[in-house]
Amino acid sequence: MPASHPDPAPLASDCAQLTAELFAAPPINPQQWLGLLAEGLANLIDPPAAVQTLVIDHAPARSSRKARACFAAGAGFPSPDAMKAILDDAEAGWPSHDVARPAPGTRANRVLDRAEFVSEKRWSSSRLRAVRADLGLFEFLRISCPCLELHPAPTLLIQVDALASTWQPGLRTISALRAIAQPAAQAFGRRFLRPEAHRRKLLEGLSPTRRAILPLLAQGMSESEIARMLNRSVHTIHDHTKAIYRDWGIHSRLELRDLWLGREPEGFIEPRPRTTDPAPAEGAGDRS
């Protein structure tokens, strides 16, 4: 049965609180973060229903035409088998141009853009319906939003699975998904994807040796430790480190770490791409 119309004020407040918690979550990995999102949404939507949260990669190998789930989490599923079945489906991949639509022959309230749910589709595959019912899953709906302002960008996909045959998405469920999906996608992109994109851009502007040195410097390794790991002299590592600082207009390991985490310090100078190393300064112990 559809849920009764909720009081919009408490729901809006709950959605705003969940969004704030997602932006301020402690240091955790992407799957744990998606778990927080799934658990928070499971407490906001019309019961009985479970929530799955996935980040879909739109840049798979050239040999594949699928968009695959790179991170996934869920909350409220009746059994591990039910959750595993959906994750297996996610791992199998969706057509990259159509990740927000259900599989052919299913009924779903699907999202054609970021806000509008469409519910005119009907079940036409009794087999799939029976399989889902055996797992304790019935009606479902999906919403998706890009995580970055890029094309193609990884996409946050949220799926709500009914746990009763009489469940239909009520206003509370639809309102919660509309309120949460886009800010949650932005929060995920800002936290996990933008730093990675920024790092790739930084590395593209470095010579091969400096590409190897930079991540180790950002991790806090000493120049002598890096020299042993890369089988170079300490003088060479020191020369390259000084060159990185000089070229980028930074002055400390703290600024370097901030830059690696996606926070550009004042005075940062983006370097031009290089493909070869310059010769180390005169007096360096070996050539790179």
pLDDT in tens, 34-81: 999 999 999 999 899 999 898 877 554 444 445 555 777 888 888 877
141 against 176, higher pLDDT: 176
pLDDT of 264: 57
Beta-strand pair 66-75/117-118: unpaired
pLDDT of 139: 79
- What does pTM read for this prediction? 0.60
Domain 205-288 = CATH 3.40.50.620? no
| Residue located via tokens 């990675």 | 196
The pLDDT-based confidence of 163 (bands split at 50, 70, 90) is very high
Q: Tens of pLDDT along 103-139?
A: 333 333 333 332 333 333 333 334 556 777 888 888 7
pLDDT of 91: 56
pLDDT of 259: 76
Could you say which architecture CATH assigns to the domain 8-195? 2-Layer Sandwich (3.30)
Q: Can you give the residue ranges of every domain in the chain?
A: 8-195, 205-288
Task: Write out the two tokens for 57.
Answer: 């990669």
Percent of the chain with pLDDT strictly greater than 70: 65
pLDDT of 192: 81
pLDDT of 278: 47
